[in-house]
Structure 1
Amino acid sequence: MRKPRSRATRGAPTLADVAARAGVSPATASRVLHQSTRRVGQQHRERVLRAARELDYRPDLSAQAIARGTAPVLALLVSSIDDPYFSAIAEGVARSAQRHGVIVTIALTGRDTARELTSLRTILGQRPRAVLVGGSRTVGSPHADALVAELRTLADSGGRAVFIGRPADGLPAVRPANLGGARALGAAVAGLGYRRAVVVTGSGRLETVRERTDGLGRGLAANGGRIIAVESDAFDRGGGYRATRRLLRSGGLGAADVLCAGNDFMAVGAMTALRDGGLRPGHDIAVTGFNDIETAADVTPRLTTVHFPLAEIGARAAALALAPGPLHGEDVLVPGLVRVRDSCPDRSAGRPHDPPPPG
């Protein structure tokens, strides 16, 4: 009598194997395991899932992509994941994707538009169900039109494309309300008695940088303040440190009473540079950030910033991309909330706003 072949001998279990063990048709097993929209009775569903576990069945994503046109994959393009801003968004994306029964693949673009386009084309070759494009778009990028064209082709062929940032070409987006949040921050800072702001931020080619700097200026101006200088560098901690060191060497901070960083990561670097230059953040000069990453309330002094629910933004973008039904050009703006902390003590009732005129 021949001994039955072990699973290792006969290869990986197939959908037919699962169906046979569960006592159902292959079509029923497929509906359960491939998240079909057709309903399967609870009893049959439990039998199929139990058989799949016992056989250690793994769906063939490539076969699904060929059969259905897409794989159960959500692709996320972000600048980096060592930046707490993007890691928080990615966490929200992953949480939402899990609820929808898909896996997440992440491509890191480093704010390089050519790399972003190349990554997108590679990902599209894997037939993902949806693509999320995170990170600030770059003004004047030579690759912008090609990127949008690839996403439009995906959308027109039944896939889904959503920006986590400003929308383009009628494609939907979920994004923080950068302009409104920055305007509220500027108004709050001026209301605390600060009138002369130096901005330390990323490249002016980044749309996020433009929105935040513009909003900050508007909020300050509405309450008698102004931006007296803008120093740009990389949109990260190192950039905040280097930009602030340059301002210290050039005397650019001499007339300022508040340093406004383009994001919290830059603010942390700026505060280190201030200390290295003999200044006390929150005492000799106020400091603000943007985004309210987890460490903003843990640094010393605690950082005044604009809070955005970053994980929620990621989750909402993923849910929009994976929801059934038609997807139109929604532009979901998520408002921010100013959180005033120790780095901006209230001086509105104390020292004068401006130095006395000469003579």
Structure 2
Amino acid sequence: MAGPVTLSDVAREAGVSLATASRAINGSPTRTVGPELRARVLAAAERLRYSPDANAQAMARGRTTSVGLVVHDIADPYFSTIARGVAHAAGRAGLQVILASTEQDPSREVDIVGLLRRQRARAIVIAGSRYDDEGATTALRDALDGYMTSGGAAAVIGQPVLGTDAVHIANVEGARALARAVHERGYRDVAVLGGPTNHLTARERRDAFTAELAALGAPVPDERVLVGRFDHEGGGRAMTHLLESGERPQLVFAVNDVMALGALAAVRAAGLVVPDDLALAGFDDITTLRDVVPGLTTVRIPLEDVGAEAMRLVLEAGHGAPRVVEVPTHVVLRESTPSRT
């Protein structure tokens, strides 16, 4: 037989319709083929050396073998490490990951969920903080409701506000623990690079850190809490503004490590040195920190485990109430915050 063997060739060889051959080989979520007829089709396929298309099999059964992973920024090491955990867990389950980046645009999340629903992806994992935006939250929640109603499974890595299973990181506990740790090292004069005001993760970390310091008798003045983008550029700009204002606190806390790295670059550009001129701390413990000098004090999140846990949730998805898995964090003290006592 010239050319590749098709399913139509198998159907003709077995003396059955194309639909029957497809159900016998690929399966079907609604109709089955009797054992004798299925055996005849499979024998014909073997004689013709027909190789079924794995994607076609999955589509025939109602779902593909793909998992959609939606992140805010593909270049951020925070998300790339989560993606590695998702990909490893998906691979062990025989699934493949489709990665999509929203570039911090909430409307893109809705569009991507709609696309994955049309493509009949088996599951969707959305990684990234939610925003204080009721309209955007409602729109995404509705899109995910429609996807899950059609048979898909979904989980979010972040705040559990979308009606799905969620992996929630202990931001509040981690920020409070960091505040206690730097206070014990003698830091009293502190500034915070707090990220955007409507970013829930930034808010959780910022507010918990400043509340704990206030409880310890070292409140952070409002003018020492700077807002800005939740990225390298945002950290750099906020630190530059702080230094140009004439302020030089004992310690600066950036609410994520990428912002802290931007702040470190700004300190060096100003001709200053961490930790000699001021101390610096971040949050996340991204892999990039392995190459940073001095070593950055931070709050460690097991990011790869977070991705794997989100995959576990979607693979074991049921029909009960949404589950929330809390992921603990812990402080890692390094050279960027030496003891002052």
Q: How high is the TM-score relative to the length of structure 2?
A: 0.85
Distance (whole Å) between structure 2 residues aligned to residue 15 and residue 184 of structure 1: 65
Q: Does residue 1:113 correspond to 2:106, yes or no?
A: yes
Match of 2:67 in 1: 74
Q: Which residue of 2 aligns with 1:40?
A: none
The match for 1:197 is 190
Secondary structure of 1:194's match?
Answer: coil
> By how many angstroms is 1:235 displaced?
1.1
| Structure 1 match to 2:128 | 135
Q: What secondary structure does 2:54 align onto?
A: coil
Alpha-carbon shift at residue 196 of structure 1 (Å): 2.1
SS at match of 2:65: strand
Please name the residue that 1:5 is paired with.
Answer: 2
Contact kept in structure 1, 2:141 and 2:163, CA below 8 Å = no
Aligned to 2:243: 248
CA distance in 1, matches of 2:62, 2:51: 25
Residue aligning to 1:175:
168
Question: What is the 5 A alignment of 1:285-304?
Answer: 285-304=278-297
Q: For residues 240-285 of structure 1, give each alpha carbon's deviation from its aligned partner in whole angstroms, at most 9, with x where no partner exists.
A: 111111111122x33x211001111111110110111122111211
1:227 aligns with 2:220: yes
Deviation at 1:94, TM superposition (A): 0.7
- 1:60 CA displacement: 3.1
Q: Residues 26 and 58 of structure 2 are in contact (CA less than 8 Å); yes or no, is this contact kept in structure 1?
A: no
Deviation at residue 150 of structure 1 after TM alignment: 1.3
Aligned partner of residue 290 in structure 1, secondary structure: coil
Kindly, what percent of the aligned residue pairs are identical? 39
Match for residue 58 of structure 2?
Answer: 64
8 Å CA contact retained: 1:93, 1:311: yes
Following superposition of structure 1 onto structure 2, how do residues 1-359 of structure 1 map, counting pairs within 5 Å? 4-7=1-4, 10-11=5-6, 30=26, 57-61=52-56, 64-65=58-59, 67-228=60-221, 229-251=224-246, 253-254=247-248, 256-323=249-316, 325-347=318-340, 349=341
- Residue ranges of structure 2 left out of the alignment (5+ in a row): 15-20, 30-41
* CA RMSD in angstroms, aligned pairs only: 2.8
Whole-angstrom CA distance in 2 between matches of 1:108 and 1:15 = 41
Amino acid at match of 2:242: L
| Equivalent residues of 1:201, 1:266 under 8 A apart | no
In structure 2, relative to structure 1, the CA distance for the partners of 1:102 and 1:16 (3 Å cut) is farther
Q: C-alpha distance in 1, partners of 2:220/2:309? A: 34
2-structure distance, mates of 1:239, 1:342: 23
TM-score, normalisation: structure 1: 0.81
User: Helix, strand or coil for the counterpart of 1:71?
Assistant: coil
| Change in 2 beyond 3 A, CA 1:57/1:231 | same
CA distance, structure 2, for counterparts of residue 136 and residue 324 of structure 1: 22
| CA distance, structure 1, for counterparts of residue 329 and residue 289 of structure 2 | 15
User: Do 1:15 and 1:26's aligned partners in 2 also have CA atoms closer than 8 Å?
Assistant: no
Give the C-alpha shift of residue 309 in structure 1.
Answer: 0.5
Provide closer, same or farther for how the CA distance between residues 11 and 26 of structure 1 changes in structure 2, counting only shifts above 3 A. closer
Task: State the Cα distance separating 1:153 from its structure 2 match.
Answer: 2.1
Gaps of 5+ in 1: 20-24, 35-46, 350-359
Counterpart contact for 1:187–1:222, Cα < 8 Å:
no
Evaluate the alpha carbon distance shift between residue 324 and residue 132 of structure 1 in structure 2; reply closer, same or farther with a 3 A threshold.
closer
Query: Matches of 2:141 and 2:10 in 1, distance apart?
Result: 38
Residue 58 of structure 1, CA deviation: 2.9
State the alpha-carbon separation in 1 of the partners of residues 320 and 312 from structure 2: 11
Secondary structure at the residue paired with 2:168? strand
Q: Go from structure 1 to structure 2 and tell me whether the alpha carbon gap of 1:267 and 1:197 turns closer, same or farther (over 3 Å shift).
A: same
* Cα distance change, pair 30–74 in 1 and its aligned pair in 2 (3 A): same
Once the two structures are TM-superposed, the CA of residue 328 in structure 1 deviates from its matched residue by 3.0
Q: Secondary structure at the match of 2:156?
A: strand
Q: Tell me how many residue pairs correspond in the alignment.
A: 317
